[in-house]
Amino acid sequence: MRYSEKDKDWGAEVKENAEGMCEMCGDYGCDPHHAVKRRFLKTRWILINGVWLCRKCHSWSELNPLKFIAWFIGVRGIEIYQMLIDKAKK
């Protein structure tokens, strides 16, 4: 998968926001992850749509998308998630 400069900049901002630590487990993180999938261009580079994860939590989130969304809503709030979904659909 190729990443644009915008993708790289977004990932760097997500990392900085999380101070480099996995937002799920607190371990050293190394991957940005989109709450609303990156294929939705209208939300792809919105910072609040990004979560910084370690490889283990990133793998878990990909294998358990509904549980990940439940976690995301618990941390960021249903209002934030709904805003992202609404924006992605426009």
- Span 12-68, pLDDT tens digits: 999 999 999 999 999 998 999 999 999 999 999 999 999 999 999 999 999 999 999
> Is residue 85 within 8 Å of 42, Cβ to Cβ?
no
Local structure of 5: helix, strand or coil: helix
pTM, 2 dp? 0.91
Distance from C-alpha of 59 to C-alpha of 61, rounded to nearest angstrom: 5
DSSP strand E in 13-71: where?
Answer: 31-34, 50-53
